[in-house]
Amino acid sequence: MRTHRTRILALIAALGTVPVAAAVAQQAAQPPKAPPTLKPSVVAAGENEALPEAKEILAKAIDAMGGRQAFEEIKSVRISATVTAQGRDSQSTLKAILPDKVLVNQSYPNAPIVVTMGRVGDVAWVDAMGRVQPADPKRLAQFLDLATIHRTVLDMEREYETIETVGRESIAGQDCYKLRLAGKKEYAPTEGRGDRFAFFNVETGLLAVIDAPQQKSPQKRAISEYSDWEEFGKIKLFTKIDAKPSQAGTSKVVKLDDLAFNVVKDDAIQLPESLQPAGGNEGSNAP
């Protein structure tokens, strides 16, 4: 299980970049300008005002999103998304049967190519222009992270040893409680260094911003803003992520165009015939 921060970075990176397609779709681009940084400011509060405990803030956020039970009932996910970066868009569709089956299609408007990637258990593959090749399952792990993006808040408690309320600040135009997350638990990855900070809207309880070290450059930070909340059955979820590096770098906007839970059929994700073991899917992790 990856951390919630890794899921967000996976969403941005996985939807926005694929080595095979990027080689075809790459175009000359001007060096990106440094984006404006979301700078928090302290909200004035009475001297005797006590901040709520982190567990209370997380509980309110989970309730505002539909409640724990609603999340536990999710067995499959279908997502369509658009990523905008450096003035260019890419489209992705994802189907996942939790916990370990995922199928992704990516396309670029300026390139006549569709890349299909999949993973069933510990077997992964890439299909570019009709040519199926085995892939590293770890490469597809980012898409399984994307498939569990709805658990961004739900999994915070079990992924960090320490979660504490450290303040109340104004960020992204919202009055928020600020939580510090530190000390990853044993099964969580160790990508990135330094504390993470999660900001939750005081009034609605919903997640507003995550401030965290960048995955590939831990000495730099990235601020991701969550907005455009919509209801999907019992679940309420953000449909837009605006990720801005704290220093010069590429900003990306991820827009979830379509999201549905528990609609993917059990046989919708299968190993390609060339990767099936002798005797078909028997003995594999395919449906």
Q: 129 or 18: which carries more pLDDT confidence?
A: 129
Q: How many CB atoms lie within 10 A of CB 28?
A: 4
pLDDT in tens, 170-195: 999 999 999 999 877 654 444 445 78
Per-residue pLDDT tens digits for 200-246: 999 999 999 999 887 666 567 889 999 999 999 999 999 999 998 86
Nearest to 198 by CA among 62, 29, 50, 20: 62
**pTM, two decimal places:** 0.78
SS3 73: coil
In order of start, what are the domains of the chain with their CATH numbers? Answer: 4-24+37-275 (2.50.20.10)
Under the banding of pLDDT at 50, 70 and 90, the label for residue 4 is low
Q: Where are the alpha helices (DSSP H) in 17-136?
A: 19-25, 54-64, 68-72
Reply yes or no on whether the pLDDT at 44 is more than 60. Answer: no
Please write the tens of the pLDDT for every residue from 65-97.
Answer: 999 999 999 999 999 999 998 888 889 999 999
Determine the Cα–Cα distance for residues 258 and 210; give it in Å rounded to an integer: 23
Region 116-121 average pLDDT: 94
Instruction: Tell me the pLDDT tens digit for each residue of 129-169.
Output: 788 999 998 888 878 888 888 999 998 988 888 999 999 99
What is the Cα gyration radius of the chain?
A: 20
C-alpha 6/C-alpha 146 separation (Å) is 9
Q: Which of 234, 17, 287, 275 is nearest to 143 (CA)?
A: 17
One-letter amino acid at 243 equals A
Residue 70 burial by Cβ neighbours in a 10 Å radius (0-12, 13-18, 19+): middle
pLDDT in tens, 240-277: 999 988 666 678 999 999 999 999 999 999 999 889 88
Query: What dihedral angle (degrees, nearest 10) is formed by the CA atoms of 275, 278, 283, 286?
Result: 30
pLDDT of residue 30: 42
